[in-house]
Structure formats: C-alpha cells, structure tokens
Structure 1
Amino acid sequence: MNAKVTSVFLYVNDIIRSRDFYHEVVGASVVQQLSEYEGGPIALVVLRLGDFTLMLHPQDAHDEEFRDQRVGIGIHLQIRVSDVDAFYQHCIEQGAMLSLSGEPVDQSWGWREFALRDPDGYVWSVYQDKSNGQWTS
C-alpha cells in the first residue's frame, strides 16, 4: 500500500484572517472559497502549497464539538522552504510576529528552522533541509 498525506483541514476562529495569513504570509494560493448559500458567510477556503491542500473551515459552526477544546492545540505542521532566512524576513515584513522560537537556528539533524504560530495557534516548523539528503520527502 502506498499512502501520501495530501491535505489538512483546519478549524479557525476568523476564516478571513486565516485565509489572508496563509495567502499573504505563507504564500499559499487561494483555490476556492465556498459559502453555503449565495451571499452567505464563507464556509470553506481551499488553499494550495505546492501539491498540498490546506482547507480552512470556521470553528463556530462546530461550537459543540469544540466546547472543551482549543483550536490549534495538539497539532504541529511543517513547511519546507528553499531559504528559511528569507522566509523568516518575509514573515517579519508581513507583520507576522507570530514566531515561537525567534530567528532560524541550525539543528543537529541538519535543518535550519524556526517555529511560527498562525492566528489560531496552529504551530508550523518552517525549515530548510541542509542535511545533504538525509531527510527526503
């Protein structure tokens, strides 16, 4: 069996703010925005990062499911970039002061990375693989 993770579905508090964060800061392309009815509030935003799909859905439609939970807790995602220092600088220029770890640092396993938190608390490791092929996707 050959499996590949192709997408993630994130529940968010403010779908417009999250869409803008992933589009303007992270660089994802907005593929689709859907409402349940014409003129209604956005119910789903679909974004693409390379061949990966990121789907955003408003949490408030599922308040009962999230009553005792907080969005963003318990998940840690990763984004590989070609130049982590340039991406970090881009985040600062975009006003995304949502860094958890400060400036990018070299890790013993060959990554140069920093941690970024999105508007809902989802944590992303933004990294550049400098392991000379030890880590492959």
Structure 2
Amino acid sequence: MSLSLQYCNVTVNDMDESLAFYRDALGFEVRNDVSSGEFRWVTLGSASPSDVELVLSEPHAGRSQADGDALQELLTKGVLQQLIFRTDDVDAAFEKVRATGAEVLQEPIDQPWGPRDCAFRDPSGSMVRISQAPKA
C-alpha cells in the first residue's frame, strides 16, 4: 500500500492577492477555481502532477459564522499553518519571491541542522519557508 498527501488547505484573507502570491511569486499553476455562493476556492499545483496541491479558501467558506470568526482571528494573528517548500536553488527562489514585494522574514542561510532556507509571509500572514537540501 502506498499513501501520499494530495491536498494542503491554506486559509487566506484575500483570494486574489493570495492567488497572485502562490501563482506568480512561487510559480504554482491554477488547477481549479470554483465559486460556491459568495465564496470560492482555488486549487494550485506545481508542474509535477505527483506533487501536493494547495487549496486556497477564505475563513468563512464552508464554516459556521462562529468557526469562521475563530479561524479569521487566528489567521490575523499569524499563528496558522506554516508551509515549507523544497527547491534545488533556494537563492534563486528567494530572489524571485522577493522581487514580487513579498514580506521577507529571513534571507537564505545555512541552518545548523543541514538545509539552506529562507522565509516569507504570504499576503494573509502565514509563514512560507523555502528549503534546499544540503549539498553532499
């Protein structure tokens, strides 16, 4: 039996602003853009069809008012998910994302535990890290 992660949900405040970050800055492609009443969700994937897809949705989409409010509060505080992506060239990825005006949290550095990585905030405040495996 094999098991793999198919989707990772990312809660966002502004769908269009977040879509621009994940599509234009990080290079994901839109796979699905679905409206449901006053809300919508967008599924993004990388060029490789076997990779995990991201599903962007707003705090109140498909949730009760109370649950959406609670999720919105956590999102506003910046304490929700942290996404960590892998690349073969973290310095090039850093420059590409920084050129879009994304908030830089950490420039590329070699971590004592091995990888070289950098960090940004997405438009909704979630931390996005980009990591490169150490050279052998």
- What TM-score do you get using the length of structure 1 for normalisation? 0.81
2:8 is matched with: 8
SS in 2 for 1:64: helix
RMSD: 1.9
1:77 is matched with: 83
- Output the CA distance in 2 between the equivalents of 1:60 and 1:75: 17
Task: Name stretches of at least 5 consecutive residues in structure 1 with no aligned partner.
Answer: 133-137
Aligned-partner residue type, residue 12 of structure 1: V
Determine what percentage of the aligned residue pairs are the same residue: 31
**Cα distance change, pair 131–5 in 1 and its aligned pair in 2 (3 A):** farther
- Output the CA distance in 1 between the equivalents of 2:67 and 2:133: 37
- Output the CA distance in 2 between the equivalents of 1:112 and 1:48: 23
- Output the CA distance in 2 between the equivalents of 1:86 and 1:17: 22
Aligned-partner residue type, residue 4 of structure 2: K
Aligned residues between the structures: 127
1:24-76 Cα distance to aligned partner (Å, 9 max, x none): 00100011111126xxx551101002311000112243442143432241422
Higher fraction of helix: 2
Counterpart check, 1:105 vs 2:102: no
Moved more, 3-12 or 58-67: 58-67
- Output the CA distance in 2 between the equivalents of 1:128 and 1:86: 11
Task: Name stretches of at least 5 consecutive residues in structure 2 with no aligned partner.
Answer: none
